[in-house]
Amino acid sequence: MAQAVSLPTSTPIANTQVRMADAAPGAHTAEAVLEACGLSVHYGTRQVLHEIELRIPRGTLTALIGPSGCGKSTLLRCFNRLHDVNPGVRVEGEIRINGYPVSAWDPVALRRRVGMVFQRPNPFPGRSVFENIALPLRVSGVRGKRALAQRVEQALQAAALWDEVKDRLHQPAQALSGGQQQRLCIARALALEPQVLLLDEPTSALDPVSTQRIESLLQELKSRCTLILVTHHLGQARRLAEHTVLLDAGRIVEQGPTEQLFEAPSDPRTAAYLSRAE
Amino acid sequence: MKPVPKRPWVGAASLLLGGAATLPVLLSLLLLGVLAVDAVPAVRVMGWHLVTDSTWDLGNLYGATTHVRGVPVPTGAHYGALPFLVGTLWSSALAMLVAVPVATRAAILTAYGLRGRWQRMAAVLIDLIAGLPSVVIGLWGLLVLVPFIQNTAAPVLTRLGRWIPWLDGPVTSGMGLLAATLVLALMVTPVITSTLRELLAQVPAEIREAGFAAGLTSWEVVRLVCLPAVRSGRVGAVALGWGRAIGETMAVLMVGGNAANVLPTTLFSPISTVAASVAEQLDAALTDPTGMALHALSALALVLMVISVGTSTLSRLLVRRSAQFRHAAQSPEDEEVSPWTSRASA
Amino acid sequence: MDFPRLRLMRRLRDPLGWGISVLSTVLVLAALASIIGNILLRGLASFRLSVFWTVTHGVAGGLENAILGTLWLALWSTLLSAVPGVAAGLYCAWLAPPRWAGAIRFACEVLSGVPSIVIGYVGYTVLVLGFGWGFCTLAGAIALAAIQLPYITRATDAGLAQLGTDVRDGALAAGLTPGQTVLRVGLRAAAPAVLSGTLLAAAIAVGETAPLLFTAGWSPLVPDGSLLHHPVGYLTYVAWSYIEQPYPAAHALAYNAALLLLVLVLVLQVAARGLARRGLR
């Protein structure tokens, strides 16, 4: 819905590197690919996110952690404007990707550059493995059988799924195992070569072996795009993330380099949460 | 809230689909509107007598017309729908009396008592009855039920009639209130059974297991735990079935005996219902040069429409409320419940 | 260790409760068996293959006109109801704002509860008289479609609701427009539900009588393909009105019509259920 343009600071968009005032010292030397300023979200009359200020550096994995219901998934869905779907949700404040406010984008075009992977694997039912990846490619303008086949293969390779499914590309996607389905969904997102990949607890519905597979896949993906991972699992955040953001009750409690946030939290609430969660 | 610069959500496809989606709403309103407007002259002529008088007479359709309160009406016409209303109420109420206990037990058995293949088979077969054309059930009523009532049931029941007035009286053909009741009962049983079966199947296993853990026998779990858990849904299922019984036309027309202008006095009295009378009278009503007979039928159809809207509303409210524990039981693992996921309870 | 024994009454209630439940179910199934058995017996006893190629004349003859008329009406009504019905179901499940979706679902429930004679009556006053179409195929098909529409909408909606909105969000996140999401992902996902719902709706159209009496009329002629101004025959009319005639030949036709109806409806229902089960796998 409305992305009311209300810049809390008068920072010029081009100058993103300089804005580090509210971040932990030394944390954000890299260029920010995604920024949120004064971001608030209301579900009807209930406010679920309050004045979020966030910077996601390029080419890293940022983990969003926090207790259940703190607004992690809601925040993630602001980044690809998935809330637009729902007239009951009101998003205020500004999100910029590569310095451009997302409100200036066509949401469909935006979602082709900002991919998303969901909590539960959600392949398109009634479509084959191949079609699951080819469909988004086709609607975003990839034409020609050979080009499609090539892009599908690349995506499956990138998601470390190619070897397992290359002989059954034309079987229903729902016949795959849960872990394979989730990697298929990652491949579907990667096929569009997104700059940012949003991951909403991608391993929470999976067994430990599949979880490990996907974790190592995420490690490799850092070189391709910027990853934002919502996770319940603190160990996962620690293993994978360069940066970690802790949310509680719709507000950011602390954000900074993962190591620092876990070892020497500057906010007592962070320490309390970490000790309770472990 | 500021205006949105681009509204991709209102694309052509969404508009088309949304337009189609208004069709059920428009159709419901159209039905109500047409009937309400069309019924006005009849209501003006008859007033309350429309529902309190027992004489339904289309009048002399080929003679002179008179004017009643400024409205032209065939001479001798009188539209008193009381026998139809009484026939509808009695046949549907008695049908529910027969169907509800049977349907409830059948739902319990198919939800909890049977497993696997047997469960599926029983459920499918019972649902099949709901799919049978009503003329086929009516035909069966004429072939099997009516002779059975006439030759076997009536002689026994009328003997009891010495003590129970409703069982006494002349058994002319076997067609009448009892036959209509039984046919209607058979037709609404699958409606109630399948609604209730689905509600019972939704009772979370943990709740039933809690009952067993508290030392209840399997029937006690059903009676004391499961049925109370879907109480309002049961009422809703019954309302749904009742609505169907009231609206059924062909089967009643075939086995009801087509009473005119008399109120039923015994189980064997011929009856007619509102729905059946609309079907039966329309042919004659077409020839009314003043059109008043059609207006009177509109009033009858309006009564049916209002009752059915009422029962649908009631059953929806109650079945939904009963189904809600399902949503409470499957609370989302994380995050605030978005309005999209809570939609089902709306 | 001694277990306290349940009191006699409590022990008896269990088999009693289940026993009555079994009896109730058997009673209902027996009624079904009696219906199917009797209709099959009577229908087959008087069945002649020639009913397929002779038309009814007077109270005798065949059923060619009625068979073709039933199929012709069901074809049109299913076409008329399936397209908007599926569209409405897709919209309701994935696109509509929650409150609006609730209103549409409620309207469907109301519509499916409206007695079919009422729909036939309004069809008569609006289409036959108001539009001056006379008794005709289109009036009958529209009346039937009004009855079928809520079934198809609900089947589609329920088929998608089973999937939840995860798949929809996945499609949106993969850069599909809302229209593409619904038509290229939703429709495919709901396909088994849509097909089985449409077949069930077709079975309803085949079996209805009341809405057709005053919209389609009745005709002893084979349908000529016209949609307006020409009445059309159908099987349920024969089963209903010919049994009231005092002639054995008329009764035989009524039984034959009921038999054909039963077979048609059962085939459609079984096919629909088969599809629905396949879709679940």
pLDDT-above-70 percentage for chain C? 96
**Helices vs. strands in chain A: H and E counts, helices first:** 10, 10
Neighbouring chains to B with at least 3 Cβ pairs closer than 8 Å? A, C
Per-residue confidence (pLDDT) for residue C62, from 0 to 100:
79
Compute CA distances B273 → A149, B40, B247, C71, C76, whole Å: 66, 21, 9, 30, 31
Per-residue confidence (pLDDT) for residue B337, from 0 to 100:
35
Residue for token digits 């690349």?
A: A154
Query: Token pair for residue A210?
Result: 């599949």
CA torsion sign for C91, C96, C99, C103 is negative
Say yes or no for a CB contact (<8 Å) between A73 and B335: yes
Instruction: Count the Cβ atoms, other than its own, within 10 Å of residue B2.
Output: 12
Q: How confident is the model at residue B97 (pLDDT cuts 50, 70, 90)?
A: very high
Residue among A76, B191, B108 at smallest CA distance from C17: B108
The set of residues, in sequence order, having a beta carbon less than 8 Å from that of B219 and lying 6+ positions away, is: C13, C14, C16, C17, C18
**By the CB < 8 Å criterion, does B125 face chain C?**
yes
Per-residue confidence (pLDDT) for residue B336, from 0 to 100:
36
Query: Token pair for residue C262?
Result: 């039963």
Query: Residue B192 pLDDT > 90, yes or no?
Result: yes
Per-residue confidence (pLDDT) for residue B215, from 0 to 100:
76
Give the 3-state secondary structure of residue A264: coil
Task: Give CA A158 to chain center in angstroms.
Answer: 17
pLDDT-above-90 percentage for chain C? 46
Neighbouring chains to A with at least 3 Cβ pairs closer than 8 Å? B, C
User: In this structure, which long-range contacts are made by residues B208-216, counting pairs with CB atoms below 8 Å and at least 24 apart in sequence?
Assistant: none
Query: Residue B54 pLDDT > 50, yes or no?
Result: yes
More confident residue, B344 or A44: A44
Computed over its alpha carbons, how large is the radius of gyration of chain B?
25
Give pTM, 2 decimals: 0.83
Say yes or no for a CB contact (<8 Å) between B336 and A204: no
Cβ atoms of residues B300 and B81 within 8 Å: yes
Say yes or no for a CB contact (<8 Å) between A124 and C189: yes
**pLDDT tens sequence across C171-230:** 988 888 888 888 888 888 888 889 999 999 999 999 999 999 889 988 888 888 788 889
- CB contacts < 8 A, A to B, total 53
Residue among A50, A38, A56 at smallest CA distance from A248: A50
Per-residue confidence (pLDDT) for residue C120, from 0 to 100:
92
Query: Residue B229 pLDDT > 90, yes or no?
Result: no
Query: Residue B98 pLDDT > 50, yes or no?
Result: yes
Per-residue confidence (pLDDT) for residue A30, from 0 to 100:
56
CA C161 – CA B79 distance, rounded (Å):
48
Per-residue confidence (pLDDT) for residue A245, from 0 to 100:
92
Per-residue confidence (pLDDT) for residue A16, from 0 to 100:
37
* Longest Cα separation, chain A: 57
Per-residue confidence (pLDDT) for residue C35, from 0 to 100:
94
Q: Is the complex ipTM higher than 0.85?
A: yes
Nearest-CB residue to B6 (from A43, A46, A106): A106
Compute CA distances C163 → A68, A124, A185, C157, whole Å: 24, 10, 16, 10
Give the 3-state secondary structure of residue A202: coil
Best interface-test mutation with B: which of C122, C167, C275, C277 has the largest number of B CBs within 10 A? C122
More confident residue, B268 or C137: C137
Which of the residues in chain A have pLDDT under 50?
1-29
Mean pLDDT of C153-179: 87
Say yes or no for a CB contact (<8 Å) between A43 and B339: yes
In terms of CA atoms, which chain A residue is nearest residue B4? A2
Q: Chain B, 52-81: which have a CB under 8 Å from a chain C CB?
A: none
Give the 3-state secondary structure of residue A245: strand
Residue for token digits 């046919």?
A: B183
Q: How confident is the model at residue C94 (pLDDT cuts 50, 70, 90)?
A: confident
Q: Chain A, 195-224: which have a CB under 8 Å from a chain B CB?
A: 201, 204
Domains and CATH numbers, chain B: 85-283+292-324 (1.10.3720.10)
Per-residue confidence (pLDDT) for residue B6, from 0 to 100:
55
Say yes or no for a CB contact (<8 Å) between B13 and C206: no
**By the CB < 8 Å criterion, does C173 face chain A?**
yes
- Say which CATH class C49-280 falls into: mainly alpha
CA A57 – CA A98 distance, rounded (Å):
10
Cβ atoms of residues B136 and C239 within 8 Å: yes
Q: How confident is the model at residue C63 (pLDDT cuts 50, 70, 90)?
A: confident
Burial-class residue A80 by CB neighbours within 10 Å (0-12, 13-18, 19+): buried
* Helix (H) / strand (E) containing B58: none
Domains and CATH numbers, chain A: 13-277 (3.40.50.300)
Per-residue confidence (pLDDT) for residue A278, from 0 to 100:
66
Query: Token pair for residue C222?
Result: 């084979």
Least confidently predicted of A177-186, C93-102, C132-141: C93-102
CA C183 – CA C189 distance, rounded (Å):
10
**pLDDT tens sequence across A14-53:** 333 333 333 333 344 457 888 899 999 998 888 999 999 9
CA A220 – CA A218 distance, rounded (Å):
5
Query: Residue B333 pLDDT > 50, yes or no?
Result: no
Per-residue confidence (pLDDT) for residue B322, from 0 to 100:
65
Q: Nearest 5°: CA angle at B55, between B52 and B57?
A: 130
**pLDDT tens sequence across B74-91:** 777 788 888 889 889 999
**pLDDT tens sequence across C13-57:** 888 889 999 999 999 999 999 999 999 999 898 888 888 888 888
| DSSP 3-state percent helix, strand, coil across chain C (nearest 5) | 75, 0, 20
Give the 3-state secondary structure of residue B65: strand
